[in-house]
Amino acid sequence: MTADPDISRQDSTQPQVLGVLALELSDDSVPARAALGQQAAGELATLLGRDLGALVPGVRDLDLSFAAAHFDPAELLRPGWPMHRRLEELRVRAPKSGEGPRIIAFGADASGAVPLPFQSDTQLAGGRLRVLPYLFVGEPAATAAVAEHMESMLLDLGMAKADTALCAQEAFGARIEHARYLTLHDLLAMTALQYRNQGLDPLWDVLETALLAPGAEAWLDAPPEPLLRHVDGEVRIAMLSPDDWRLRCAPGESDDGRLAQGFAMYEARQRQLSAVLQAHGVPVVFLHVAPGQDPTAALR
């Protein structure tokens, strides 16, 4: 990754530890429930706190907020980390009973309905990896120390205990092959690797900028890839005419059939990149480029 901001401090007045419980499902497993009721949510949150407290003792001194609802990773990896930000808002509003750190779990309401924003996107369902967000907050120095410790070891040592994985499996009604704890940085790194393996590596710098530095500019300007520019919190995609596409991406091609096929593949690639960006909550704007116009100028 090219950017390295402190995720634990974004959109917060005090340090936070942002992470997920990642559930890798069996190939043919579909969870029976999108979110857990209050009792099951509390049980799973308690086990999560116990597991992470054993790995990083300082965790026990921090408030734990946990959403007992599962999501596609793209739903958590969005500009401003809205799911974790909502967890913090709910933590601040939660009533206190005595002193000391709290474990606060959120899930389905008494009627079984899942309140916003913990409703997952059905269009992003079906992937084998489902993630449940957690958040630790406490005294600044202690929280910063926990964040540093987790970043250094959680990816390698963060397997959930067997009873935690079993609890999640039974509560959600899904066959789980692996359950592990990750920081949000870890999830970003895993997503970058996954996208690289799927041929989406050219998009990563633009997507990473949108997630980690939304005020910054980034380009994808590498023919025959589509031309993209991230600016002002959105990604602009240049829509080229067939003739301008040929000049930019296939200047040596003269066969009409291959040109038509190549342009169709180019348009499909534009749709693919747009779908990935929008899954991550990044606004996408398609800008038509006038024939003969410099496409980079059109995106400025």
Angle between helices 242-249 and 256-279 (to 10 degrees): 90
Give the mean pLDDT of 274-291.
97
Please say whether the dihedral angle defined by the alpha carbons of residues 261, 262, 264 and 265, taken in this order, is positive or negative: positive
CB 254 within 8 A of CB 207: no
CB 296 within 8 A of CB 240: no
Determine the pLDDT at residue 29.
Answer: 87
DSSP letters spanning 201-224: HHHHHHHHHHHH-TTS-EEE--TT
Edge-to-edge strand order for the sheet containing 176-183?
Answer: 103-106, 63-67, 129-137, 16-25, 176-183
Determine the pLDDT at residue 97.
Answer: 76
Determine the pLDDT at residue 10.
Answer: 46
pLDDT(127) > 80? yes
The verdict on whether omega for the bond into residue 226 sits within 30 degrees of 0, i.e. cis, is: no
Share of the chain above pLDDT 90, in %: 82
pLDDT(267) > 90? yes
Determine the pLDDT at residue 13.
Answer: 56
Give Rg (Cα) of the chain: 22
**3-class SS at 178?**
strand
Edge-to-edge strand order for the sheet containing 284-288?
Answer: 218-220, 228-231, 234-239, 284-288
The pTM (predicted TM-score) of the whole model is 0.91
Average pLDDT, rounded, for the chain:
92
Give the mean pLDDT of 237-263.
94
**pLDDT one-digit tens code per residue, 38-77:** 999 999 999 999 999 999 989 999 999 999 999 999 999 9
DSSP 98: S
Q: Which residues have C-beta within 8 Å of that of residue 212, sequence separation ≥ 6? A: 1, 3, 5, 7
Q: Domain segments of the chain: what residues? A: 7-196, 200-298
Give the mean pLDDT of 158-184.
97
